[in-house]
Structure 1
Amino acid sequence: MDPVHNPFSPGAGCAPPELAGRSGIERDAKVRLQRISLGRPAKSMMLVGLRGVGKTVLLDQIRKNAEAIGIQTVRIEAPENRSLPALLAPALRVALLQMSKMDAAREFATRGLKALAGFAAKLKIKYSDIEVGLDYEPEPGLADNGDLELDLPILLEQVGRAAKALKTALVMFIDELQYVKELEMAALISALHRCSQEQLPVTVVGAGLPQLRGRMGAAKSYAERLFDFPEIGPLNDEDAAAAIVRPIQGEGAEINEEAVKVIIERTKGYPYFLQEWGKHIWDAAPESPIQRQDVLRASDIAIAALDESFFRVRFDRLTPSEKKYLRAMAVLGPGPHRSGDIAEELHHKVTALGPTRANLIFKGMIWSPTHGDTAFTVPLFDEFMKRIMPGDSWKTDGV
């Protein structure tokens, strides 16, 4: 099989050749955003799910669909070490500058840029990482209180008025939203609530790990009235098969049914893993049709590739005590697990392991599906932990 024509593309946020199983969410998001652009009430969406389920790909596809129908968008990724104001300010500046070129929105967009100038100047004292070009002098009293929860609603209101003048919406697409600090999250939700009350077409479509739902609820109790939280999970067997078969057929090749079944069994239907297996079976197969034995031969290579990239990059961020905690979870299986069972496996009290567990949640390695439960955010990470820390020697290391 010619590697030049390999259709599969494993990589962080890389669009797969076949976005299988997500068309319903795409259609739903498009309707919601069209309603918001008309000033009609509609909840926006927060895509939640484990690593490797394709949240980023789906978020980008929804953004492209929105842009295709004339909706203004900005794309933001929230890393662990940046403040929300620092992320929003430059993105909103670009959006306002674009809208200011249109006669219908020029006045509103210009006032929005003045609001942004006051917003950035006053908040820079608290959020020193804000860096944004200022095109106008601030307007006194406009988004310049120096309090994020007071100023962000005023700023987004000005953005919303410019978008409304253009008969469109401004949608902020924010990935890795679970990393936004609670007070900053509260300010964002409050600002969006105000826009909704004023029927202004501004909203956020976000993506994050499963803990995002709880974090937004903790930040503002009415978050559930502004957003729905569709859970993005592994593909069912039919969609997983389509994600493999259609790209192969698109290149004029074939794969037999038994080979597809083995891929689905090994990947558990997780989209990123399907891409990884697809890449390696294509390269391993001598000819079409791809056979079951080609998949078996390529599986070891696919697992090794995942170990060195997808899994290892997360493992290397962990402290020794965090690695040991996850290894104890792996003994118990995929999960979720009771925190008490993990503590028992480590021969420690639950309270003594609290800081380690909290750090792992902050790093996005685990989450709590229900009170007292702990689960991996990375699919198949229990199997990786057994490979990277084999045997029982890890038990003798101190936490």
Structure 2
Amino acid sequence: MDPVRNPFAPGAGSHPPELAGRQAILDDARVAIERALLCKSSRSQLFLGLRGVGKTVLLNAVEGIAQDHAHITTFIEAPEGKSLAEQLLPRVHLALRKLSLAEHAKAKAHEAMRALRSFAAAFKIEYGDTSIAVEPEAGIADSGDLDNDLPELFVRIGEAARAAGKAWTLLIDEVQYLRQKDLAALIVALHKINQARLPVLFFGAGLPQVAALSGDAKSYAERLFHYPEVGALPEADAKEAIRQPVQGEGAAIDEDALAEIFIKTQGYPYFLQEWGHQAWNVATGTTITLQDARQAEPKTLRRLDAGFFKVRFDRLTPKEREYVVAMARLGDGPYRSGDVADALGETAQALGPRRAQIIAKGMIYSPSHGDIAFTVPMFNSYLMRNLASL
């Protein structure tokens, strides 16, 4: 088949040609977005799942829905080692500039700008080319305590949005990389917004441990958020994610080829995209056959190993790599921390700091007390395939 017309898009956050199996999540998000615009109570949402399941794609889709419904949006990817305040400043400034264009919102937007200026000064944030050409407002968002200042800033943004007849949606990807104090302050700010019935909404995405992290940060977080689980697609949806793009290009795919791709990918969206991409390029006719799907396997695995898997493995230190290889040697997870320790000839207590560091890097998580599992689907298979070269 013509590779130029290949419909599949294997890439970080790339929107797949067919967003199968996620309609219920998007419908819930749309309802929350429309309610927020009416200043009706709406619970913010945190999309939780492993790597490669399409959480970023969902966030992008939700941002589009919000923009279609008169929301000003702010999108942040939480980096490791950078504060939330630093990330928010230039983006909130841009959002307030947009809100200030509405005649009825000019005064409220000006007040919010003054609060933002106070916030920047309190946290000594350098904002480079971003110029906030207003005087700070004494006593508002200037205490230097994020738990106090972020809610005050969010209230001012919400008031400006309400005056403009709009809403503000904040979206944060990779929530697990937020510092605990930043996550706690964000939760406090969203709680304040809910109490004030202001048109502000939050959508986040992160690894499965985010639910526990948010609960640890503030005990009432479980009542503040919905936690939609984003996982592998059921068989029917996984097949549709392959079939529809192929048919959209005037081609076809055999049912047994679809079954083969589903079995080999276990329904994980990123793997589906990569396998579909390679199967399309292998096919010589106008129909992708079972033979094509099988011939695509070596190149698909090489691509996944060199990109999706390796970039994550390379972030680990030699000792951390030793730990995850010991996990993989135990078979499919989840794994008992004690079993990994036994395999390494050490105690679970002695390995605690190493395990915590790997969790902090987003490579493993604890699905239940004493258990650990990979955040990357099929990572144990990658490690076992490549033991000789690791």
TM-score range, shorter chain: over 0.9
Q: Is the 8 A contact 1:74 1:171 kept in 2?
A: yes
Give deviations 1:105-151, integer Å, cap 9, x for gaps. Answer: 11101110111011001111xxx566543221212222111211111
Give secondary structure in 2 for the equivalent of 1:52. coil
Q: Aligned partners of 1:326, 1:389: CA distance in 2, in Å?
A: 11
Q: 1:227 Cα shift? A: 0.4
Of 343-352 and 271-280, more deviation after overlay is shown by 343-352
Give deviations 1:320-361, integer Å, cap 9, x for gaps. Answer: 111111111111223111111111111110011111100100
- The one-letter code of the counterpart of 1:52 is G
Q: Is the 8 A contact 1:258 1:291 kept in 2?
A: yes
Q: Determine the structure 2 residue equivalent to 1:235.
A: 233
Q: Aligned partners of 1:348, 1:75: CA distance in 2, in Å?
A: 43
Q: Determine the structure 2 residue equivalent to 1:388.
A: 386
- The one-letter code of the counterpart of 1:325 is Y
Q: Determine the structure 2 residue equivalent to 1:135.
A: 133
Instruction: Tell me which of 112, 126, 151 is aligned to 1:153.
Output: 151
Which runs of structure 1 show a deviation greater than 3 angstroms over 4 or more consecutive aligned residues?
128-132
Q: 1:225 Cα shift? A: 1.3
Q: Is the 8 A contact 1:75 1:173 kept in 2?
A: yes
Distance 1:273 1:358, change over 3 A: same
Q: Aligned partners of 1:321, 1:99: CA distance in 2, in Å?
A: 50
Alignment pair present for 1:92 and 2:101: no
Root-mean-square deviation (Å): 1.2
Q: Is the 8 A contact 1:148 1:187 kept in 2?
A: yes
- The one-letter code of the counterpart of 1:239 is D
Q: 1:288 Cα shift? A: 1.7
Q: Determine the structure 1 residue equivalent to 2:174.
A: 176
Alignment pair present for 1:10 and 2:22: no
Q: Aligned partners of 1:350, 1:147: CA distance in 2, in Å?
A: 37
Q: Determine the structure 2 residue equivalent to 1:266.
A: 264
- For residues 154-303 of structure 1, what are the structure 2 equivalents within 5 Å? 154-303=152-301
- The one-letter code of the counterpart of 1:170 is W
- The one-letter code of the counterpart of 1:7 is P
Q: Determine the structure 1 residue equivalent to 2:83.
A: 83
Q: Aligned partners of 1:386, 1:91: CA distance in 2, in Å?
A: 43
Q: Determine the structure 2 residue equivalent to 1:72.
A: 72
Give secondary structure in 1 for the equivalent of 2:250. coil
Q: 1:224 Cα shift? A: 1.1
Give deviations 1:140-192, integer Å, cap 9, x for gaps. Answer: 22211121111111111100001111232101011001100111111111111
Give deviations 1:174-232, integer Å, cap 9, x for gaps. Answer: 10011001111111111111111111111210000001100000000011111011110
Q: Aligned partners of 1:196, 1:232: CA distance in 2, in Å?
A: 25
Q: 1:390 Cα shift? A: 3.7
Aligned length: 389
Give deviations 1:57-116, integer Å, cap 9, x for gaps. Answer: 011001101111111111111011211001111111100000001111111011101110
Give secondary structure in 2 for the equivalent of 1:136. coil
Q: Aligned partners of 1:137, 1:388: CA distance in 2, in Å?
A: 59
TM-score using structure 1 length:
0.95
Percent same amino acid among aligned pairs? 50
Q: Is the 8 A contact 1:82 1:129 kept in 2?
A: no
- The one-letter code of the counterpart of 2:211 is R
Q: Determine the structure 2 residue equivalent to 1:397.
A: none
Q: Aligned partners of 1:323, 1:244: CA distance in 2, in Å?
A: 34
Give deviations 1:366-399, integer Å, cap 9, x for gaps. Answer: 00011111000000000111122249xx8xxxxx
Instruction: Tell me which of 349, 352, 355 is aligned to 1:351.
Output: 349
Q: Is the 8 A contact 1:73 1:173 kept in 2?
A: yes
- The one-letter code of the counterpart of 2:102 is M
Q: Aligned partners of 2:382, 2:131: CA distance in 1, in Å?
A: 45
Give secondary structure in 2 for the equivalent of 1:262. helix
Gaps of 5+ in 2: none
Give secondary structure in 2 for the equivalent of 1:206. strand
- The one-letter code of the counterpart of 1:286 is T
- The one-letter code of the counterpart of 2:368 is T
TM-score using structure 2 length:
0.98
Q: Determine the structure 1 residue equivalent to 2:307.
A: 309
Q: Determine the structure 1 residue equivalent to 2:323.
A: 325
Q: Is the 8 A contact 1:78 1:176 kept in 2?
A: yes
Q: Is the 8 A contact 1:334 1:376 kept in 2?
A: no
Gaps of 5+ in 1: 395-399
Q: Is the 8 A contact 1:47 1:207 kept in 2?
A: yes
Give secondary structure in 1 for the equivalent of 2:380. helix
Q: 1:236 Cα shift? A: 0.3
- The one-letter code of the counterpart of 1:329 is M
Q: Aligned partners of 2:248, 2:8: CA distance in 1, in Å?
A: 11
Q: 1:21 Cα shift? A: 0.3
Q: Aligned partners of 2:165, 2:283: CA distance in 1, in Å?
A: 53
- For residues 363-374 of structure 1, what are the structure 2 equivalents within 5 Å? 363-374=361-372
Alignment pair present for 1:59 and 2:65: no
Q: Aligned partners of 1:258, 1:203: CA distance in 2, in Å?
A: 44
Q: Is the 8 A contact 1:85 1:130 kept in 2?
A: no
Give secondary structure in 1 for the equivalent of 2:287. coil
Q: Is the 8 A contact 2:33 2:69 kept in 1?
A: no
